[in-house]
Amino acid sequence: QVQLVESGGGLVQAGDSLRVSCAASGRASSSSFMGWFRQAPGKEREFVAAISLFGNTYYGDSVKGRFIISRDNAKNTMYLQMNSLKPEDTAVYYCAATTAGRYYYSSREYDYWGQGTQVTVSS
């Protein structure tokens, strides 16, 4: 089975940068999509970014131009580089993977999820 473990979250100030990582095991390297979602208290889980098996990348409107998603298949690791962080980026960030999903932006398409890592951005 696929196992996903996030790391790298923390407390930063607005305007700072942070990189979170997702270490994967199992067959995650052959996933059709791997992605990042986030959820703040009282809000719906929001699509952040996704990357396909072929390296195509996709971003949610709220993070375009600020975040960069990448993957290193040799290390079975996915990264999310977050730049120009804003207080509204504060959330638990979840790593996810799907082996059969076709809609990268929908959380319902993902089969495997990590435990999440907290990112807090102060003003």
pLDDT digits 0-9 by tens, 33-58: 999 999 999 999 999 999 998 899 99
- CA nearest neighbour of 78 among 102, 110, 122, 106: 110
pLDDT at site 37: 98
Instruction: Please determine, for residue 113, whether its predicted confidence score (pLDDT) is greater than 80.
Output: yes
**What is the Cα–Cα distance from 87 to 33, expressed in whole angstroms?**
28
* Residue 7 pLDDT grade (very low, low, confident, very high; cuts 50, 70, 90): very high
pLDDT at site 28: 64
* Residue 77 pLDDT grade (very low, low, confident, very high; cuts 50, 70, 90): very high
